[in-house]
Structure 1
Amino acid sequence: RSWLQKLQKDKARPGASPLGAGMAGDDEDEPVLSSATKQKVEAAKQCIENHYKAQMRSLQERKERRWMLEKKLADADVSEEEQNNILKDLEKKETEYMRLRRHKMGVDDFELLTIIGRGAFGEVRLCREKATSNVYAMKKLKKSEMLRRGQVEHVRAERNLLAEVDSAYIVKLYCSFQDDEFLYLVMEYLPGGDMMTLLMRKDTLTEDESSFYVAETILAIESIHKHNYIHRYCNRLTP
């Protein structure tokens, strides 16, 4: 709009040519961008570049998954018809995965059920996804409390770790989202409870039980270390 107004002003000026609008001699009329505006422009540019880089990376990963599956099928001496069926199934799953990525999840996508735990920053509640009826554990963290206690980086490290690690010994994170007041982590629901509850209920574990849980703990810590995280004794995850 400002450019159009400037062009109309140049047209009305005696002896001015419309072709000369915005060219040399009119520099004094050009608005000067503030530092804040330049920062916003740079942030918008970075956001767009990151978006398309992620799109290209996702496309490349999709091609690599198909290539690896085709190679495995060829090595396994599978019939052509069965190969086509398996590849069609892969394409179907890939399409569903992309659809889920485009959908912005929120609290309204879940039916909130009973509370199964409380912590320093919020609560953990059993929930059911409305679209699939799958049951999950939703951790709801109050952002203002995290800021007050200086725990933002630790919570971010926990979220990133759960998103990166695919291990049978680490609870799975299905999605995360936030609103103005809370951060939500939708995780795998484990009905057996946690180790503290187990110790409170049994008081003393047998030798076989102790060996089993210690072995699982070691494997869980090993999977964390492979992703360059260190699990310290104070129960914090540090990248």
Structure 2
Amino acid sequence: MKSALSTLLQQTADLRQAIRHKSHTGVTSGLVQGAMQGNVVILPADWANEFLLFCQKNPVSCPLIGVSEVGRYDMPELGHDIDMRHDIPEYYVYRDGVKVESRSDIEDIWQDDMVAFVLGCSFSFENALSQAGLTPRNVEEAVNVSMFETNIETVPAGRFFGNTVVTMRPYTPKDAIRAIQITTRFPKAHGAPLHFGSPQDIGISDLSKPDYGDAVTINDKEVPVFWACGVTPQVAIRNAKPPICITHAPGKMLVTDILDTALAVL
């Protein structure tokens, strides 16, 4: 009989293969619950140190869980047979800070000097929320999580700067307190929320029009709860204007072989 871990590892391998062969191109929220997911930023080596410093100065928005060696597209510390050129459902390609295309793989534009960064993702604590009876609305409705650019400034590092992007999940005030307690245990997946309640206080004017992802239903007596988001680097990339940068498309993450509980502080 297979153990729960071996079953999970088989599921993560199967999902990455489905992504690699383009039979899965959608969001990864709610998939292979129990596996850690990650945001991705890929930069030329001569920009990597500045971006590393940006992550170190902004650990809530950019919690580092993996960095590749220069030119290597595998990430053995995060999973068996990971190929950063193929294992994300959709990539965004930026040139001089402008998103110029999205694509299903980056093999033909991969460079020998590239460095891949993987940042913790709030999808990794969604399983813990669901197990506590607090299933996120985006999981319930099978859509991408709502993401918004805010007026909360990040700490600049070299050429990288910009405002924080957040994810939003609605809860009743009582459930929001429990969600805060649960997610605080996951500092490598953005940890506790940055804000809850009035979206206008952090520069968000309309919850029905997210900057990324999909709008979700907000029921009576629910309040929006906002967590830092790994799309934040994409704002900094627009400002820094590296000659080339590749990221994941919002909501379409790298699914690793690491248990999401490995991110938890017990």
* Larger proportion of strand: 2
TM-score using structure 2 length? 0.24
TM-score using structure 1 length? 0.25
Q: Name which structure has the greater RCO, CA cutoff 8 Å, separation 6+.
A: 2
Q: Is the radius of gyration larger for structure 1 or structure 2? A: 1
